[in-house]
Amino acid sequence: MINFEESALNFLRQNIRDIPDFPKPGIIFKDITPLLKNPDTLNLTSRLLAKPFLNKNVDLIVGLESRGFLFGTTLAMDLHAGFVPIRKPNKLPGETVSATYQLEYGTDSVEIHADSIIKGNRVVIHDDLIATGGTASAATKLVEKLGGEVIGYSFILELTFLGGMKNLKEGALINTLLKY
Ligand code: AMP
């Protein structure tokens, strides 16, 4: 028998669109804009993202640029937490701290406002998708640099064949809705 949660996740899966060869040849881009457009999947996605973190005393959701801002904000509201953005270099107006991470060829970096986290804050890192885990791992470093505690990670999608989970903090609660 299919339970409610399984059919809900199947419904979400039907609202993810594969765009081949975007942004470059060989990449299958997982497009979540249909999830946002449909009011039922918009609501269901935010409910399912929040569920495992209810009653976990989350202070802040840290959302990763830019698709992590979309459901990161609804997640923060559902958990009665605040929201803090992590952005690409030179986008945040205030004083920042940054972390650099490895790409297949070269490096990339991300930044957070230096005053955005108070020591001891309980933080959940959110993005739309985890691939290699490089971005989430750099985000973990930034949160910890500012004295925050990463208690969890939240993703709508995981590309399991890229093994990103091994780059996340051990012992943290990980919620991924759909695995590919
Ligand atoms: P990574 O740091 O390798 O885990 O990459 C994660 C980031 O890249 C996220 O912000 C995703 O939105 C984006 N990303 C990577 N691969 C894809 C993909 N196939 N479809 C959509 N977004 C992707």
Residue range(s) defining the domain that contains residue 164:
55-179
Residue 127 lies in a domain: yes
Residue 138 lies in a domain: yes
- Ligand 1: residues whose CB is within 6 Å? 27-30, 64, 67, 127-135, 164
Are 86 and 104 spatial neighbours (Cβ–Cβ below 8 Å)? no
Residue 157 lies in a domain: yes
pTM surpassing 0.75?
yes
Are 29 and 22 spatial neighbours (Cβ–Cβ below 8 Å)? yes
pLDDT value for 19: 97
Ligand 1 mean position to 30 CA, how many Å? 8
Mutate to test the pocket of ligand 1, among 129, 135, 156, 167 (most ligand atoms within 8 A of CB): 129
Residue 133 lies in a domain: yes
Residue 40 lies in a domain: no
| Extended strands (E) in the chain | 17-20, 28-31, 60-64, 82-86, 96-102, 107-113, 122-130, 149-158, 173-179
- Which among 86, 77, 180 is positioned nearest to 127, based on CA atoms? 86
Total structural domains in the chain?
A: 1
- CATH assignment of the domain containing 156: 3.40.50.2020
pLDDT value for 3: 85
> Hey, what are 72's tokens?
């990161």
Ligand 1 mean position to 146 CA, how many Å? 25
| Three-class DSSP category at 67 | helix
pLDDT value for 1: 60
Ligand 1 mean position to 40 CA, how many Å? 24
> Is 84 buried (19+), middle (13-18) or exposed (0-12) by CB count in 10 A?
buried
Whose tokens are 């985890």? That residue is 130
Residues of the chain short of pLDDT 70, as ranges, are: 1-2
